[in-house]
Homo-oligomer: A and B are copies of this chain.
Amino acid sequence: MAGSVSKENEYLKKKEIKPSAFLNPVPLVMCSSGDMDNSDIITLAWCGTVNSDPPMLSLSVRKSRFSHHLILEKGKACVNLVSAELVKAADFCGVRSGRDTDKFKAAGLTKVASPLYGLPMIGESPVSIECSVKQVIELGSHDMFLMGIDAVCAAETLFDEKGAVDLRKARLVAYSHGEYYELGKILGFFGFSVAGGKALRRRARK
Contact = CB atoms under 8 A, between A and B. Distances in A.
Chain A's interface: helix, strand, loop or mixed, by majority?
Answer: mixed
A70 interface: no
A64 interface: no
A38 interface: no
Interface in A1-30: 1-5, 7, 9-27, 29
A36 interface: no
How many copies of this kind of chain does the complex include?
2
Interface string A86-129: 11110110111000000000111110100100000001111111
A38 B94 CA distance: 44
A16 B163 CA distance: 12
Contacts of A55: 19-22
B186 A180 contact: yes
Given A27-B23, A46-B50, A14 B96 contact: no
A162 interface: no
B7 A153 contact: no
Given A14-B155, A51-B46, A19 B149 contact: yes
A149 B22 contact: yes
Contact of A23 (B48, B91, B139, B151): B48
B193 A152 contact: no
5 contacts: A1-B106, A17-B165, A23-B48, A25-B27, A54-B140
